[in-house]
Amino acid sequence: MAVGVYLGDGKPACVYMQNSGLGNTVNPITSILNKQVYNIPVLCLIGWRGEPNIKDEPQHKFMGAITNPLLELLEIEYSVISKETTEKELESILEKANTVMKRKEQYAIVIKKDTFSKREHYVYKNEYTLAREEAIGCILEHIKDSDLIVSTTGKISREAYEQSDKIKGHHNNIFLTVGGMGHASMIAYGIAKSKKDKKTYCLDGDGAVLMHMGSLAFIGKKPVPNMVHICLNNEAHESVGGMPTGATEINYSEVAKECGYPNIFTAETKEELISVMKRLEIINELSFIEIKVSIGSRDDLGRPKETAEENKDNFMKNMVVK
Ligand SMILES: Cc1ncc(C[n+]2csc(CCOP(=O)(O)OP(=O)(O)O)c2C)c(N)n1
């Protein structure tokens, strides 16, 4: 969009992202923006997760450590700001950014944790009543112990982890896609292809589906019989504050249908979800379930106790057990 805005306006656009988003934008930066191609100025505001020596989740550590070196490699000049940055310093950073962008190059401002003060707490709501965690619990109650689960980035994984402990007494059959938002469905698809004797469930979020929606077309085009793709749709990025995704009117089940998923189900209540889960017991064909859920989560929701690598090892070990 920033490229289009520049082409249309002749003015650089400002793009705001988390540093995991910098990973997603490496290709357009190198193959569109860079001066060896179109030389297009953009101002990037980048939230710095995983800053060295600051406690953060495992999926942010490596990207946190390489954020600034990566910008250097991408030939993007940058400044780092924090809550100590004064207005005067900020002014001179913006002046520098302007000079760089006049040369049609890109400039980044890397923003440390707690630079911005918290805005007033705003509670986002939708019209649905089924809680996401309750829906996840209901799914876990209806799947076999030998079934596999791949859960998406954010609180869906944390809820699946806790619900599985509560319902099954363990969480060894869940692969938590802690990073790589939007890729859980293709991971589930890969597992389903190689483990044909088991059913693989993907617990996805609507924001994550939207981020890499092309996966639906791929999966629908070459369906596997032992995969169930579940989109827990709260029309929001609940895990990071509950803001609307910007695609709240999208009918995800229609998209999946058009992409070729042969079985499509929707549910808005626990009763509807139970009846879908029962029907799934006798369906041996790729299926998609869109569950409309409310926006919200428990304040005391925990985090995985193992490292990401331990979670992966347990998942792989558990797979060989019948
Ligand atoms: C590339 C990238 N950008 C941003 C994030 C931060 N992030 C983590 S979870 C999440 C929201 C996920 O939304 P959704 O899939 O709808 O699930 P919900 O939390 O609403 O259940 C975001 C934006 C990320 N992990 N990766």
Task: Encode pLDDT of 222-238 as tens digits.
Answer: 999 999 999 999 999 99
User: Which one of 132, 163, 238 would you pick to mutate in the ligand 1 pocket, going by the greatest count of ligand atoms within 8 A of its CB?
Assistant: 238
Same-domain status, 156 and 220: yes
Q: In this predicted structure, what is the pLDDT of residue 322?
A: 52
Of 47, 52, 56, the C-alpha closest to 66 is 52
What pTM was estimated for this model as a whole? 0.96
Q: Is residue 193 one of the residues assigned to a domain?
A: yes
Same-domain status, 107 and 199: no
- The pLDDT tens digits for 84-103 are 999 999 999 999 999 999 99
Ligand 1 center to 187 CA (angstroms): 17
Same-domain status, 146 and 269: yes
Does ligand 1 have an atom closer than 6 angstroms to the CB of 206?
yes
Does ligand 1 have an atom closer than 6 angstroms to the CB of 295?
no
Q: CATH code at 254?
A: 3.40.50.970
Q: Report the half-sphere exposure of 241 (CA within 13 A, side-chain side).
A: 8
Does ligand 1 have an atom closer than 6 angstroms to the CB of 207?
yes
Of 86, 110, 106, the C-alpha closest to 96 is 106
Tell me which H or E stretch contains 89.
helix 87-102
Same-domain status, 98 and 157: no
CA torsion angle 304 310 311 313 (round to 10): -170
Same-domain status, 185 and 290: yes
Total domains in the chain come to 2
Same-domain status, 232 and 160: yes
Residues 6+ apart with CB under 8 A from 58: 178, 179, 307, 308
Ligand 1 center to 102 CA (angstroms): 34
- The pLDDT tens digits for 159-205 are 999 999 999 999 999 999 999 999 999 999 999 999 999 999 999 99
Q: What is the pLDDT along the chain (322 residues), one digit of tens a residue?
A: 999 999 999 999 999 999 999 999 999 999 999 999 999 999 999 999 999 999 999 999 999 999 999 999 999 999 999 999 999 999 999 999 999 999 999 999 999 999 998 888 888 999 999 999 999 999 999 999 999 999 999 999 999 999 999 999 999 999 999 999 999 999 999 999 999 999 999 999 999 999 999 999 999 999 999 999 999 999 999 999 999 998 888 999 999 999 999 999 999 999 999 999 999 999 999 999 999 999 999 999 999 999 999 999 999 999 886 5
Same-domain status, 157 and 288: yes
- 174 within 8 A of 151, measured Cβ to Cβ: yes
Q: Is residue 223 one of the residues assigned to a domain?
A: yes
Same-domain status, 75 and 166: no
Does ligand 1 have an atom closer than 6 angstroms to the CB of 293?
no
Q: Of all protein residues, whose CA lies closest to atom 13 belonging to ligand 1?
A: 237
DSSP 250: -
Q: Is residue 118 one of the residues assigned to a domain?
A: no
Question: Atom of ligand 1 at shortest distance to CA of 205?
Answer: 15
Does ligand 1 have an atom closer than 6 angstroms to the CB of 155?
yes
Same-domain status, 144 and 83: no
Q: Is residue 123 one of the residues assigned to a domain?
A: no
50/189 Cα distance (integer angstroms): 29
- Please give the residue range of the domain that contains residue 252: 132-320
